[in-house]
Amino acid sequence: CFPAGNGMMIAIWGGNTPAPLQAMHFGSRIGSLVAPALAYPFLSATRGEALYANATIPNNTETTEFTFTSNIEVPYVICGGLGVFASLGYLVVYLAPRPQGLVFTNVPKGRNLKELLHPGSFTNGNARYGVILMTCIFLYFSVNGACSSHFQLLQASIATETLNATKQEASLMQFAARGSAILGNFIIIPVSKFAPMPFIVFVQCHAIAIINITAVALALKSRMNFAVLGCVFDFFFASIWASGMAWPEMYIDVTGSAIMIWNIGCGLGNAIMEWGSGYILQYHGAQSVMWLCAAFAISLCLLIYVTQCVMSYHGPKKRHLVPTNIN
């Protein structure tokens, strides 16, 4: 639902997109805060992966079996129920009467797949500019997920396996980090209403790079260091996705097709990093993951320089309001 929601928000709000889009993403941060709090009571407070119990079978051969003390399936069932409840809410919104006279700032540029995905459809017919800019933004969304695996995807694994935290302690780290993300996302809503998006993206990406470089030196020295750096990281990282879509809206038509292409980039980057960072953590240790994320964060900073130069060279887009009957 996120791609469709992002596209609709941008189409409705146009040049005023940043604050409403950040507000929509703020809702997802609430969910990410609730998740570790929901899981906490069902997680083990024992250090290590499992409790070991010796058992003797009839032929007097002694074996060792693993007894896990977490009931993680319970929060999964709860989340599934909440998902059903949320889907019913979406259904109600879909069936509810819609406003009359709604004006979109952009609409799909064609009916068939070739027209929808043509690079010139996002840049007023300039195919060369469209290819370059869409490639830059595609890479932006691919890389921003890659520089976050230590404090997102692998946060619990590093906390429990490398820093010997209990699963409950790891859950508390995640809860604190997601709370910091909510604060960061909340602050960026009014800021994005007044500050230019290139400046916001510049600050976010460079803050992430500084935190990742600091994490290389300090994150694994103690559980407290890891938790604090995770909170600071999430504070800046929370709104990077929404900022990445509001940023090019000043220069190109951010249609649903464009957002889907960027989602593919995000999914591709995350898929590679899920495998790659997990492999590196298993065979080379958490410190190598820190170095990897720092390298990607620096690459992200270089990428935004190139992207902004390309967009500034071609200048802001001309806006056309399109009356749309959405009944």
Q: Which amino acid is at 243?
A: S
Q: Which amino acid is at 165?
A: A
User: For residue 16, what are its two tokens?
Assistant: 């005023």
Please, what sign has the CA dihedral across residues 326, 103, 261, 24?
negative
Domains defined for the chain, CATH in brackets: 2-45+71-323 (1.20.1250.20)
What's residue 289's pLDDT? Answer: 92
Strand (E) positions, 131-220? none
What's residue 171's pLDDT? Answer: 84
Query: pLDDT tens digits, the chain, 327 residues: what are they?
Result: 555 667 666 766 666 777 777 777 777 777 766 776 777 677 655 555 444 444 444 555 555 444 555 677 777 788 788 878 877 876 786 677 766 665 666 655 556 666 666 777 777 778 888 888 888 888 888 888 788 888 888 888 899 989 999 888 888 898 888 889 889 888 998 998 889 989 999 999 999 999 999 999 999 999 999 999 999 999 999 888 888 888 888 888 777 777 777 878 777 777 887 788 888 988 999 999 999 999 999 999 999 999 999 999 988 877 655 555 544
Torsions phi, psi for 224 (to 5 deg)? -65, -45
What's residue 50's pLDDT? Answer: 47
Strand (E) positions, 50-183? 51-56, 62-67, 103-104
Tell me how far apart the alpha carbons of residues 116 and 95 are, in angstroms, rounded to a whole number.
27
Neighbours of 315 (CB within 10 A): 9
Tell me how far apart the alpha carbons of residues 276 and 136 are, in angstroms, rounded to a whole number.
22
Distance of CA 299 to the CA centre of its chain: 17
User: For residue 175, what are its two tokens?
Assistant: 């809860």
User: For residue 269, what are its two tokens?
Assistant: 């980057």
